[in-house]
């Protein structure tokens, strides 16, 4: 996957890290379960993941490494440099050819990379409303026409008070409307696994319109 990453350039936005970088310096955070979320395993096994993949908010890289081992060309990006360091170490130890880059997902399109699929295991739901719109547009610009974005996010009921790190079906429909260049393919009820717990979640599939 040719891009500015060929030069080894790492660009991240420390102001946007929201403390996540510190989360990866000690023991793994509770969302880092040592394997990909089951929802993405099922998507991969069903053949729904394209050949060129970008994972936004990749953390320590378990989903990216899983997909690369299956033969996908994968770039994982995360705003937390500590997470990227761990992901790169895992790739070396396991001899898996995934690439990792410290980068702000709100500027994903600035990388100059085009992808068939973008996967997101609980990154978008951590952003505020304006940042979500910026991230979704950057993702849309990065995808090839017809490309797919798959999002796993903690679920919140429509009409419930807004909380950090969750999305409602209404918010998802608003983010992925046809006027914004998307076709919303599905919103499935599922679960997001953490160490010792599991929370209700949505698996979202959206396609970039031609």
CA distance 199 to 61: 21
Mean pLDDT, range 145-169, rounded to an integer: 92
Length of the chain: 210
Closest alpha carbon to 80 in 103, 109, 99, 64: 103
Which residue has 């790739």 as its token pair? Answer: 91
Q: What is the CATH number of the domain that holds 152?
A: 3.40.50.150
Question: Are the C-beta atoms of residues 73 and 96 closer than 8 Å to each other?
Answer: no
Mean pLDDT, range 20-36, rounded to an integer: 81
**17: confidence class by pLDDT, cuts 50, 70, 90:** low
pTM of the model: 0.90
Mean pLDDT, range 7-17, rounded to an integer: 45
Max distance between CA atoms of the chain, in angstroms, equals: 47
Domain tally, the chain: 1
| pLDDT score of 140 | 98
List, for residues 174-205, the tens digit of each pLDDT value. Answer: 999 999 999 999 999 999 999 889 999 999 99
Residue ranges of the alpha helices (H) in 71-184? 81-94, 129-142, 169-175
Higher pLDDT, 12 or 63: 63
Tokens representing residue 93 in the block:
């130890």
Mean pLDDT, range 47-55, rounded to an integer: 98
User: Does residue 156 register a pLDDT over 60?
Assistant: yes
Count CA atoms closer than 13 A to 42's CA, side-chain side.
9
Count other Cβ atoms within 10 Å, centred on residue 159: 7
Question: Are the C-beta atoms of residues 65 and 98 closer than 8 Å to each other?
Answer: yes
Mean pLDDT, range 57-72, rounded to an integer: 97
| pLDDT score of 27 | 74
% pLDDT > 90, the chain: 80
Domain of residue 56: give its range. 4-208
List, for residues 90-138, the tens digit of each pLDDT value. Answer: 999 999 999 999 999 999 999 999 999 999 999 999 999 999 999 999 9
User: Does residue 6 register a pLDDT over 60?
Assistant: no
Torsion of CA 95, 97, 98, 101, to 10 degrees: 90
């Amino acid at each position: 996957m040719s891009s500015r990453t060929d030069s080894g350039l790492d660009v991240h936005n420390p102001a946007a890290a929201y403390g996540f970088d510190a989360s990866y310096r000690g023991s793994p955070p509770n969302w880092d379960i040592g394997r990909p979320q089951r929802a993405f395993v099922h998507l991969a096994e069903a053949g729904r993941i394209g050949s060129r993949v970008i994972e936004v908010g990749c953390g320590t890289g378990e989903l990216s490494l899983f997909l690369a081992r299956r033969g996908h060309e994968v770039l994982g990006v995360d705003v937390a440099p500590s997470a990227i360091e761990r992901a790169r170490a895992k790739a070396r130890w396991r001899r898996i050819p995934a690439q990792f880059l410290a980068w702000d997902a709100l500027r994903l399109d600035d990388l100059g990379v085009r992808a068939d699929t973008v996967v997101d295991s609980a990154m978008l739901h951590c952003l505020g409303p304006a940042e979500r719109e910026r991230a979704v547009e950057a993702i849309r610009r990065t995808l090839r026409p017809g490309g797919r974005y798959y999002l796993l996010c903690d679920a919140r009921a429509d009409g419930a008070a807004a909380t950090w790190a969750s999305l409602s079906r209404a918010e998802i429909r608003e983010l992925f409307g046809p006027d914004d260049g998307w076709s919303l393919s599905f919103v499935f009820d599922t679960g997001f696994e953490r160490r010792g717990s599991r929370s209700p979640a949505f698996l979202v599939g959206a396609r970039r319109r031609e």
